Amino acid sequence: MTNERLVQCVVLKREAPGLDRLPYPGDLGARIWRSVSKEGWQRWVSHQTMLINEYRLVPIEPKARKFLEAEMEKFLFGEGATKPEGYVDPSAK
C-alpha cells in the first residue's frame, strides 16, 4: 500500500495523486502543490514547452520567466492558457 497524497486537481477537475514536492518557489509553488496533481502539472509542462518553442523564449531571461509564470497561473488556475496564433499541434497532422 502506498501513502500517495491525493489532491482535488484544478486542472483535471477530479481527485488525483498530488506532486511529491513544490514544483515552483514561493506562495505560487505552495498553491500548486496543494491543488494540482502530477498529471495536471505534466499537462502544464507540455504546454510550457510548446510556448518556449513557439515563441523562441529563453527561460533564464526575466521577461520570458515573467511571461511563463503568468501563463502558468492562467493555465492552472485561470481561464486556461491560449496557444500561439497559427499554432498547429504536430500530433494532429
Q: What's at 74, amino acid-wise?
A: K
Let me know: does 39 contact 12? Beta carbons within 8 Å: yes
pLDDT above 90 covers a percentage of the chain that reads 78
Is pLDDT at 78 greater than 80 in this prediction?
A: yes
Q: What's at 12, amino acid-wise?
A: L
Domains and their CATH numbers in the chain: 6-81 (1.10.3880.10)
Other C-beta atoms lying within 10 Å of the C-beta of residue 78: 12
Residue 13 DSSP SS3: coil
More confident residue, 83 or 42: 42
Confidence at 3, pLDDT banded by 50, 70, 90: confident
* Grid cell for residue 4: 500517495
Closest of 52, 43, 62 to residue 84, by C-alpha: 52
More confident residue, 60 or 2: 60
**CA–CA dist 38, 70 (Å, integer):** 20
**CA–CA dist 84, 16 (Å, integer):** 29
